[in-house]
Chain A
Amino acid sequence: MNKNKHLLLWSSVGVFLLLVVAAWSENSNKEWRRIQKSASNAEGALDIHLRQVVNTNLNSADRCVSCHAGMAPGESELKGHAILAAHKPVVHQPADYGCTICHGGQGRATDKADAHGDVHFWPQPMLPMKYSNAGCGTCHTPLNVPNSDKLASAQQAFERLDCLACHRVGGRGGTLRPGGGGLEGPDLSNVGFKGYDIAWYDKHLAKATAVTEGPWKASFGAIDDVQRQALTTWLNTRVGSSKLVEAKAAFHSVGCMGCHKVSGVGGDAGPDLSRAGEKDPGLLDFKAVPGERNLSNWLKEHFRSPVATVPGSQMPAMGLSEAQIDLLTMYVLSLRRRDLPGSFLPKDRVQVLRFGAREFATDGATIFSAICAGCHGADGKGRRYPGTQAFPSIAGQDFLSLATDEFITETIQQGRPGRKMPGWANEAGLKPEEIQKVVAYLRQLGGNTATKPETTAPRWVKGDANVGQRLFAANCAGCHGAKGEGGEGPALNNKILLATATDTFLIETIKAGRRGTAMQGFESPSPTRAALAARELESIVSFIRTWETKK
């Protein structure tokens, strides 16, 4: 019995000791306790207890401030560990909003690895510091963002006109009034969100002309229309996070929305990206992704080589620069919309959700680069990706001189069924006035080529379709396919094309060809074939027209 007694005694003592160890490591042996122990504020040593920011509206209880105690409600200026530093000044006070709403991660956890989400298979890790501005996308979405070129020229205008002499933007510029009274001009860092007086220019000018000397006289003068437009663009995009705006501008520069939807606008060929920043890394395939297993690395590799990262992906490698990939990664990470209580929705998000406001600037150049450039190229000269059909050039003079505005508008509205080109006259597409801007921009891209007015009726050709069939097989089928299904050249048996294109348009296209593409002009002979006569051209058009009625 004594042996059993001893066994009972010692195993009980062992269990007790282990439980003491477990309790100690669960409670006392916490990193945040050690950190708080090392801290001190103006009143002396810090009171050691679990700190948290609770926000019932956001359904968050963020204990991050147990370690980052300098960011806890009511704390400031803690001495000690670097981790105790206060948050840099931001619009949203961490003490009110908590941490995870912007930075991601695990608010309730109290160990570094758990809280930051550096645990294998944790679905919502923190955003990397480099991309922390993507966190704004949890609630906000910058509106009216132009493409990168326009944003850059807007920035240049702002700098060149030396607005920073009086105004402050993002911590730069601004002059303090001599003798106190704040800045000469208001801080413009958030005017894009808060709104500003549309008549600012007239008021500025009136003030500048009213005085005879002083800063107003010396530093403000008339600004031309182009520059003022650039300034408007600039002001509209000052929404706190200039980095996020820059990232979004990059997204609006490479035509992603031709295939992808964001907030309900865009094409259908690729997945909807509205919440792509919330992807769970645990569900992604990291076989082809070098470096750390996180979403930003996966996204970057995906931009470099979509097929290698997602087997079977239809997305072509876009040939993006590393700088662009960096910006696009940041933007996609910002697509992490959270379901917020209605009262918490910021007005930019409300504008998009309830009033259909555009997230992209609605000038022709931005719409073209945000939607069309992916396939038709930034210059409109068409693109060809490995393994895909060539996308047609739409900014060439030959095309634009033949295609009327109505033709182009119709094509944009209806798309080309059977090809990648979707129709844009729908809910997820563009408004009529936006399409008009794209058409106008196309003309501008093509060197302002005007259309030759057509005097003939839309359908005047009466050729022999049988002759046309023979000629088509000999001259056209090589590129356009024996049944006009398309190949190297675009499909011709497309109902929408045939309905929209007039006979003159077709005849003239065959005659003159399209410079800059494989389409030759058949009006003149080439070393391999004779020129086509007018009757022959007409018979080809008649043959093409037979597809209009066929299935």
Chain B
Amino acid sequence: MSTPITQEHAALQTFRENLLAAPRRLLDATFRSGKPTTDRTRSTFVFGNVFLHLHAVRTHRWNLRWTTTMGLGIASTAAFLITLITGVLLMFYYKPYPDAAYDSIKDIHFVVPTGRFIRNIHRWAANVMVVAVLLHMARTFYTGAYRKPREFNWLIGMGLLVTTLGLSFTGYLLPWDQLAYWAITIGANIAQSPREVTDALNLTDNFDPGGFQRLLLLGSDVVGDEALIRFYLLHVMILPLALVMLMAVHFWRIRKDGGMVRPVDADQRLAPRSGETYPVFTEAPQKTYQLAAIVKGKTGVVGRGPENTVPSMPHLFYAELAVLMLTVLICVALSLVSDAPLKELANPAVPENPAKAPWYFLGLQEMVAFSAFMGGIGIPGIVLVGLGLIPFLDREEKGTGDWFGGPGGWPLVRRTIPFGFGIAILIEAYVIRFGWLREWFPSIPQLVITLINPGTLLTLAYALYSVWLVRRHNSTRAGALGLFTCFLCGFIVLTIIGTYFRGPNWVFYWSPADWPKH
């Protein structure tokens, strides 16, 4: 055996050099584009990173104005990330089995170090998320961002809204206390509410979609361990996965649809660029970097001179991080001030009175008090279908990218607000003061009330008003602006009444202090 000693030494030598170089190479492999000190390296950094490449490499200055988006989309995402992290932490202690569930929440609340704090953050972030998602949708609507070519993304956004509400609702049952139990009982009864119609038509024995929906939701006739495991699975697996996937599509579509919406004259309306933003490194006037054969539509940058864009890194990332931290700040601050509620162990024998759904469903519950089907399924269904149709009915282009853009504009919205609030309050006040058909004609068929109740009348009034707006301004957008504003007002009025002014047996009280003592 005669191995060439020199060669062996050389291999060892190389090994030693590689070993010494390993830390540096690890860094190089991780940050492949080198230090992000120039625009070029920053750009490579952004599109070389799986998380960052959701962003365009450069961002239009219009998008960075606070008033363009108010950061609501990022706030929603941030709130979701917070619930995700705190939720995973809570899963370490939570046991999804009826009595054990309640005890484990008690443990989290009273015993586990920082358990109460984490649970508070989870609960507040969930509420912040619902609010942020609703406001984000309002922003998208008012800036006309649903219009072509963003119709599909608007639909994805609606899916995200429903998933968000579903996540929040399924989480409501998990503590297995009285609050949870009876809120979910209400939710399950709403799912069963098509029975109101099938009962009236004498169909229930043969055709019972309501009963099926309730069974599908609860897995049993009552809210029991089957329901809990279902809600748990939905809450920690199915809905979060659905949400993440929808979010991925949502973000991806933003870029595919030509980035954030902005007015056609955005460049002219922007203040001249200051020193901190500088022109894109190639100011080629005729730049077309799209793959014309594959990507349809025009990109916003074609045929324009010096772009009003700035590198996403760091300009956009600072803005996003700022919103993220602001959301964290809000959630943490609220968590320090207010504890998540926990009532006594769920007791099917002792109904809560009033039993209230989560706050964002209290507007629906207010309408459910008149007709379970219309309030719980009919009107929300109409609203969802209407929202889904908006981008396909409003094919106008005027005002896209501007707040309250389009015919009528802000003056229309401003005049609609008092109308929307007024008529909702008026109808509610009338019903609270004088009652409704059931009080006047006790034997009236339920089908009549299902069709004619304060909820449907309110919807009808809003619809007629928006039809009138369409005719007056000769524009679908004007009608949509009016209708959306009206529904927003109605939602606020009904939610506030349901939250603060309804007591035992869903009777109106000015304050909980007036509730009858037992």
The residues of A with any CB-CB pair to B shorter than 8 Å are 1-5, 7-8, 11-12, 14-15, 18-19, 21-22, 26, 106, 108-109, 114, 119, 121-123, 280, 282-283, 285, 287
> Does the CB pair A4–B64 fall under 8 Å?
yes
Given contacts A7-B326, A8-B318, A106-B111, contact A1 B342 (CB under 8 A): no
Quick one: closest A residue to B116, CB to CB? A26
- What's the Cα separation between A22 and B310 when bound, in Å? 39
CA distance A257 to B518 in the complex (A): 33
Q: Which residues of A contact B95 (CB under 8 A)?
A: none
Interchain residue pairs A-B with the least CB separation, the first 6:
A282-B344, A8-B322, A11-B325, A7-B322, A287-B518, A4-B318
Asked if B333 is at the interface of the complex by the 8 Å CB criterion, the answer is yes
Whether A11 contacts B322 by the Cβ 8 Å rule is yes
The reply on B114 being an interface residue by CB < 8 A is yes
- Cα distance A282–B332 in the bound complex, in angstroms: 30
Question: Is B138 close to A, CB under 8 A?
Answer: no
Does B350 contact A285, Cβ atoms closer than 8 Å?
A: yes
Asked whether any CB of chain A lies closer than 8 Å to the CB of B328, the reply is yes
| B148, CB-defined interface residue at 8 Å | no
**Whose C-beta in chain A lies nearest to the C-beta of B349?**
A283
Partner of B111, one of A8, A11, A108: A108
Whether the Cβ atoms of A280 and B345 lie closer than 8 Å is: yes
Q: Is B347 an interface residue (CB 8 A)?
A: yes
Does B314 count as interface, using CB distance less than 8 angstroms? Answer: yes
A11-B329, A15-B329, A283-B344 given; name 4 further pairs at CB < 8 Å. Answer: A1-B315, A7-B326, A22-B336, A282-B343
Contact residue among A1, A15, A122, A287 (Cβ-Cβ distance under 8 Å from B328): A15
Task: Say whether B92 faces chain A, with CB atoms less than 8 Å apart.
Answer: no
B492-518: which have CB < 8 Å to A?
518
The CA-CA distance from A282 to B106 in the complex, in Å, is 13
Decide if B66 touches A3 in the complex (CB within 8 Å). yes
Q: Which residues of B contact A282 (CB under 8 A)?
A: 343-345
Residues of A within 8 Å of B158, CB to CB, are none
Whole-angstrom distance between the alpha carbons of A438 and B289 in the complex? 106
Assess A18 versus B332: contact at CB under 8 Å? Given A1-B318, A8-B318.
yes
Supply 24 A–B pairs (Cβ within 8 Å), ascending by A.
Answer: A1-B277, A1-B310, A1-B315, A2-B276, A4-B64, A4-B318, A5-B318, A7-B325, A8-B321, A8-B322, A11-B329, A14-B329, A14-B333, A15-B328, A15-B329, A18-B329, A18-B332, A21-B336, A22-B114, A26-B113, A109-B111, A122-B110, A123-B345, A280-B344
Question: Is B322's CB under 8 angstroms from A4's CB?
Answer: yes
Q: In the complex, A100 Cα to B68 Cα: how many Å?
A: 59
Q: Which residue of B lies closest to A113 (CB)?
A: B110
Any A CB within 8 A of the CB of B319? yes
Nearest Cβ distance between residue A8 and chain B, in whole angstroms? Answer: 4
Chain B residues contacting A19 (CB-CB under 8 Å) are 332
| Cβ–Cβ contact B110 & A108, under 8 A | yes
Which residues of chain B in 305-363 are interfacial with respect to chain A, using CB atoms and an 8 Å cutoff? 310, 314-315, 318-319, 321-323, 325-326, 328-329, 332-333, 336, 342-345, 347, 350
Contact present for B64 and A283 (CB under 8 Å):
no
Q: Nearest B residue to A11 by beta-carbon distance?
A: B325
For residue B403, which residues in chain A have a CB less than 8 angstroms away from its CB?
A: none
B276 contacts A1, CB within 8 Å? yes
Q: Does B117 contact A (CB under 8 A)?
A: yes
The answer to whether residues A1 and B344 also contact, given A22-B117, A109-B110 and a CB cut-off of 8 A, is no
Q: In the complex, how many residues of chain B place their beta carbon closer than 8 angstroms to a beta carbon of chain A?
A: 33
CA distance A287 to B518 in the complex (A): 6
The A/B interface has a contact count, at CB < 8 Å, of 79
Whether the pair B350, A11 counts as a contact (CB closer than 8 A) is no
Cβ A1 vs Cβ B111 within 8 A: no
Task: Given A4-B319, A282-B344, decide whether A106 and B110 contact each other with a Cβ distance below 8 A.
Answer: yes
B350 contact set on A, CB distance < 8 A: 283, 285
Cα–Cα, bound, A484→B64 (Å): 94
In whole Å, how far is B485's beta carbon from the nearest beta carbon of chain A?
29
Q: Is the CB of B64 within 8 A of A1?
A: yes
Given contacts A1-B64, A26-B117, contact A15 B332 (CB under 8 A): yes
Docked-complex contact A121 and B342, CB < 8 angstroms? yes
Shortest distance in angstroms between B70's beta carbon and chain A's nearest beta carbon? 12
From the candidates B66, B276, B328, name the one contacting A11 in the complex (CB within 8 A): B328
Give Cα A287 to B345, complex, Å: 17
Return chain B residues, CB-CB under 8 Å to A15: 325, 328-329, 332
**Do A114 and B110 form a contact, CB below 8 Å, given A15-B329, A121-B342?**
yes
- Interface SS, A side: helix
Chain A CB within 10 A, most for which of B113, B319, B342, B344: B344
Report the Cα distance A283→B315, complex, angstroms. Answer: 57
Q: Give the distance to chain B from A498, nearest Cβ to Cβ, in Å.
A: 42
| Nearest A-chain residue to B114, judged by Cβ | A26
CB-contact partner of A121 in B114, B318, B325, B344, under 8 A: B344
Give B52-71 interface residues, CB cut-off 8 Å to A.
Answer: 64, 66
Nearest A-chain residue to B112, judged by Cβ: A108
A404 to chain B, nearest CB (A): 49
Q: What residues of A have a CB within 8 angstroms of the CB of B310 in the complex? A: 1
Q: How far is the CA of A490 from the CA of B177 in the complex (A)?
A: 48
B345 contacts which chain A residues (CB < 8 A)?
Answer: 121, 123, 280, 282-283
Rounded to whole Å, the gap between the CB of A250 and the closest CB of chain B is 31
A541 CB to closest chain B CB, in angstroms? 50
CA distance A51 to B303 in the complex (A): 74
Which residues of the partner chain A approach B318 to less than 8 Å between Cβ atoms?
1, 4-5, 8
Contact of B332 among A3, A8, A22, A114 (CB under 8 A): A22
Contacts of A119 in B (CB 8 A): 110
Cα-based distance from A5 to B423 in the complex (angstroms): 44
| Distance to closest chain A CB from B73 (angstroms) | 15
Q: Tell me, in angstroms, the Cα distance from A122 to B111 when the chains sit together.
A: 13
Determine the distance from Cα of A80 to Cα of B88 in the docked complex, in whole angstroms: 44
How far apart are the CA atoms of A18 and B328 in the complex, in Å?
Answer: 10
Docked Cα-Cα span, A421 to B323, in Å, equals 75
CA distance A261 to B322 in the complex (A): 66
CB neighbours (8 Å) of A26 from chain B are: 113-114, 117
Which residue of the partner chain A has the closest CB to B65?
Answer: A3
Q: How far is the CA of A287 from the CA of B350 in the complex (A)?
A: 12
B310 to chain A, nearest CB (A): 8
A3 CA / B274 CA spacing, docked (Å): 14
A21 to B329, CA, bound (A): 13
| A residues in contact with B111, CB < 8 Å | 106, 108-109
Residues of B near A2 (CB, < 8 A) are 276
Residues of B83-139 contacting chain A, CB below 8 A: 106, 110-111, 113-114, 117
A22 / chain B contacts, CB cutoff of 8 Å: 114, 117, 332, 336
* Complex CA distance for A7 and B75, rounded to whole angstroms: 14
**Which residue of B has the minimal Cβ distance to A286?**
B518
Q: Which among B276, B347, B518 is the interface contact of A283 at CB below 8 angstroms?
A: B347
Kindly supply a per-residue 1/0 record for chain B positions 382-402, scoring 1 wherever the CB is within 8 Å of any chain A CB and 0 otherwise: 000000000000000000000
Identity of the chain B residue whose Cβ is nearest the Cβ of A61 in the assembled complex: B111
A4 to B310, CA, bound (A): 14
CB neighbours of B342 from chain A (8 A): 121
Q: Which residues from A are CB-within-8-Å of B314?
A: 1
CB proximity of A312 to chain B, nearest CB, Å: 12
Complex Cα–Cα for A12 and B329 (A): 8
Q: Is the CB of A18 within 8 A of B336?
A: yes
**In the complex, which residues of chain A have a beta carbon less than 8 angstroms from the beta carbon of B315?**
1, 4
- Which residues from B are CB-within-8-Å of A8? 318, 321-322, 325
A53–B329 alpha-carbon span in the complex (Å) = 39
Chain A residue with Cβ nearest B314: A1
Cβ contact within 8 Å between B322 and A18 = no
- What is the bound-complex CA distance between A110 and B59, given in angstroms? 52
Question: Judging by beta carbons under 8 Å apart, are B276 and A12 in contact?
Answer: no
- Nearest residue (CB) in B for A109 is B110
Query: How many angstroms between the C-alpha atoms of A109 and B111 in the bound complex?
Result: 5
Most buried by B among A11, A18, A26, A280: A11
Q: Which residues of A contact B321 (CB under 8 A)?
A: 8
In whole Å, how far is A309's beta carbon from the nearest beta carbon of chain B?
13
Q: Least Cβ distance of A29 to chain B in Å?
A: 12
Residues of B within 8 A of A1 (CB): 64, 276-277, 310, 314-315, 318-319
